[in-house]
Amino acid sequence: MSISIKEEHLELLRELINIGVGKGGEILNKMLGSHITLDVPDVTIVEEEHFLDFLLRPNDPLLAAVNMEFLGALAGTVNLVFRAGDVDKLVILATGGGEADTGIDMESLRTGSLLEIGNVVINGVVGTLSNILHLKLNYSIPAYLEGNIKQIIDKMRKDDDATILIIAKTRFRAESLDLEGDLIFFLGISSYQELVDSFGRLTQ
Does 42 reside within a domain?
yes
Q: Are 83 and 57 in contact (CB under 8 A)?
A: yes
Does 67 reside within a domain?
yes
Residue 128 pLDDT grade (very low, low, confident, very high; cuts 50, 70, 90): very high
Does 102 reside within a domain?
yes
Does 20 reside within a domain?
yes
**Whole-prediction pTM:** 0.88
Summarised one tens digit per residue, pLDDT across range 68-84 is 999 999 999 999 998 88
Residue 58 is predicted with a pLDDT of 55
Does 1 reside within a domain?
no
State how far the Cα of 12 lies from the Cα of 1, in Å rounded to an integer. Answer: 22
Q: Are 82 and 90 in contact (CB under 8 A)?
A: yes
**Residues spanned by the domain of 97:** 7-203
Q: Are 168 and 182 in contact (CB under 8 A)?
A: yes
> How many folded domains does the chain comprise?
1
Summarised one tens digit per residue, pLDDT across range 169-184 is 888 887 777 888 889 9
Does 2 reside within a domain?
no
CA angle 174, 180, 181 (to 5 degrees): 120
Residue 57 is predicted with a pLDDT of 57
| CATH number for position 158 | 3.40.1550.10
Mean per-residue pLDDT for 92-119?
74
